[in-house]
A = this chain, B = another copy of it.
Amino acid sequence: MSPTALETVSVLLEQWSSLPMDERVGAFRALPVGADDDLFFALSIGDQAELILALPPEQRKVWVRALPPDDIADLVQYADEEDRPGLLAQLDEPTRREVRALLAYEEDAAGGLMSPRFARLRSDMTVGEAIRYLRRQAQAQLEMIYYAYVLDPSQRLVGVVSFRDLFATTDDRPVAEIMRRDPLTVPPNLDQEQVARVFARHDLAAVPVVDDAGMMQGIITIDDIVDVVQEEASEDMQKLGGMEALDLPYLDTDLVTMIRKRAGWLALLFVGELLTATAMASYEDEIAKAVVLAVFVPLIISSGGNSGSQAATLLIRALALGEVRPRDWLVVLRREIASGLALGGLLGVMGMLRVLAWQQAFGTYGDHAFLVGLTVAISLVGVVIWGTVSGAILPLVIQRVGLDPASASTPFVATLVDVTGLVIYFSVAHALLTGTLL
């Protein structure tokens, strides 16, 4: 392919999501052979599905068949119910069987990620025979080859041999001698996030999927894991930002869906925040006596929210990567109390200085400036410790009860800390200012 065609493809990819469908089809069909491949394989599954369905029927077959069975399964799952039979009809019978088998698995489980087309060997082969046998298999559409899997006559997995090891050995050695026995495997129903963690922990390029009976069903390769990792990180971030995860890129999500995904949590958080109005109302007498107390309310509650956001973000990410587990709660608690004390102390001092400086400059706080400053400072220490501790522990608790810790979103923690922060602040005020301002 000429560099110009490569550029055309790059430009088209840049603009793809903003082009109307008929222009996409036109541009795609105008590409020279080779360049159309490049464009097609660079598209996301969703864009591939839309493009295929927009092509004239006689052109669909070649593009559906260009995909490996695991991608076809994703494509079918992505398409609307009524388009699915039409897509499946484009396939030859063996591939259709493979795709049907994959469709039986959850899209976000190991079975939904795997490809059934892996390189197979028998343990009684020599290395020379194995390489010749693999060359015959390469003519069929195999997934990229990192490892070859050694199966017994009943398709049970008995060992794995890396391509490099095969290559580096002499032709006459038996495969059984250089293969690794009892390789690491994953079951077909393992969640994709767990699969990604197995890859990270064991630094693998591919992992075989083996069912309860020990039969090898397929392989998951590291390139599938990159997408999983990006997808899971996007989901966690969006939950962390206080909304339901979008399933599609921002600009591809229609407005109604996006508003719906945001409205649920926003309304729920609003109901939580209504408690702040109730809490504030119960302190109306104090505010009426000392309006100055109201002045620091946003400062106090947002400091709690910010420190809670930090702690929640840290722990949610650490849980997602498997760096921290719920049973580490005591270590986490100790670290966060220490952090909260240090951070709250810092903000407390800053708050006190602010009050004293304004008092010095403008006499803002009258006779009781020091007491007001002390109320603000002590409340800040309390609220920040409470923020860090609840922000850190909440994700652990949520994971412990089997839910997704990313639901302990930063707005959720902030809301929790807002209500309790008000109670802390007005309680401190009550203790310090009764008899003077109150």
- Given contacts A201-B42, A298-B298, A339-B262, are A270 and B347 in contact (CB under 8 A)? yes
- Given contacts A139-B168, A168-B138, A310-B262, are A321 and B249 in contact (CB under 8 A)? yes
Report Cα–Cα, A259/B347, bound state, in Å.
13
With most chain B CB atoms within 10 A of its CB, the pick from A271, A291, A298 is A298
Report Cα–Cα, A252/B335, bound state, in Å.
12
Contact between A338 and B273 (Cβ–Cβ < 8 Å)? no
- The 8 A CB mask of A1-13 against B (1 = contact, 0 = none) is 1110010000001
Interface stretch (choices A20-28, A86-94, A102-110, A223-231)? A223-231
Taking the nearest CB of chain B, how far is it from the CB of A229, in angstroms?
A: 5
Residues of B within 8 A of A339 (CB): 255, 258-259, 262
Residues of B within 8 A of A328 (CB): 18, 251
A407 within 8 Å of B (CB atoms): no
Q: Which residues of A contact B (CB under 8 A)?
A: 1-3, 6, 13, 17-18, 38, 41-42, 134-135, 138-139, 142, 144-146, 162-164, 167-168, 180-182, 184, 196, 199-203, 205, 222-223, 225-227, 229-230, 233-234, 236-238, 240-243, 246, 249-252, 255, 258-259, 262-263, 265-267, 269-271, 273-274, 276-277, 280-281, 284, 287-288, 291-292, 294-299, 301-303, 305-307, 309-310, 312-318, 321, 323-324, 328, 331, 335, 338-339, 342-343, 346-347, 350-351, 354, 364, 410-411, 414-415, 418, 422
Contact between A276 and B255 (Cβ–Cβ < 8 Å)? no
Residues of B within 8 A of A288 (CB): 288, 291
Contact between B338 and A255 (Cβ–Cβ < 8 Å)? yes
Residues of B within 8 A of A305 (CB): 302, 305, 411, 414
Report Cα–Cα, A324/B331, bound state, in Å.
40
Contact between B238 and A240 (Cβ–Cβ < 8 Å)? no
Residues of B within 8 A of A347 (CB): 266-267, 270
- Show 22 residue pairs from A and B whose CB-CB distance is below 8 angstroms, ordered by the A residue: A1-B181, A18-B328, A139-B168, A145-B167, A146-B146, A163-B163, A200-B226, A226-B226, A233-B233, A241-B310, A250-B314, A250-B315, A251-B324, A270-B299, A270-B350, A276-B302, A281-B364, A284-B291, A284-B292, A288-B291, A294-B297, A302-B415
Identify the closest chain B residue to A225 (Cβ).
Answer: B226
Residues of B within 8 A of A200 (CB): 226-227, 230
Report Cα–Cα, A163/B142, bound state, in Å.
11
Report Cα–Cα, A306/B410, bound state, in Å.
9
Report Cα–Cα, A299/B269, bound state, in Å.
10
Report Cα–Cα, A42/B17, bound state, in Å.
39
Residues of B within 8 A of A1 (CB): 180-182
Report Cα–Cα, A200/B274, bound state, in Å.
44
Residues of B within 8 A of A241 (CB): 240, 309-310, 312-314, 410
Contact between A411 and B250 (Cβ–Cβ < 8 Å)? no
Name the one of B273, B292, B299 contacting A299, with C-beta atoms under 8 angstroms: B273
Contact between B298 and A276 (Cβ–Cβ < 8 Å)? yes
Residues of B within 8 A of A280 (CB): 294-298
Report Cα–Cα, A331/B134, bound state, in Å.
51
Contact between A164 and B145 (Cβ–Cβ < 8 Å)? yes
Contact between B294 and A276 (Cβ–Cβ < 8 Å)? no
Contact between B144 and A167 (Cβ–Cβ < 8 Å)? no
Report Cα–Cα, A307/B418, bound state, in Å.
16
Report Cα–Cα, A162/B163, bound state, in Å.
14
Name the one of B223, B265, B313, B414 contacting A205, with C-beta atoms under 8 angstroms: B223
Identify the closest chain B residue to A270 (Cβ).
Answer: B347
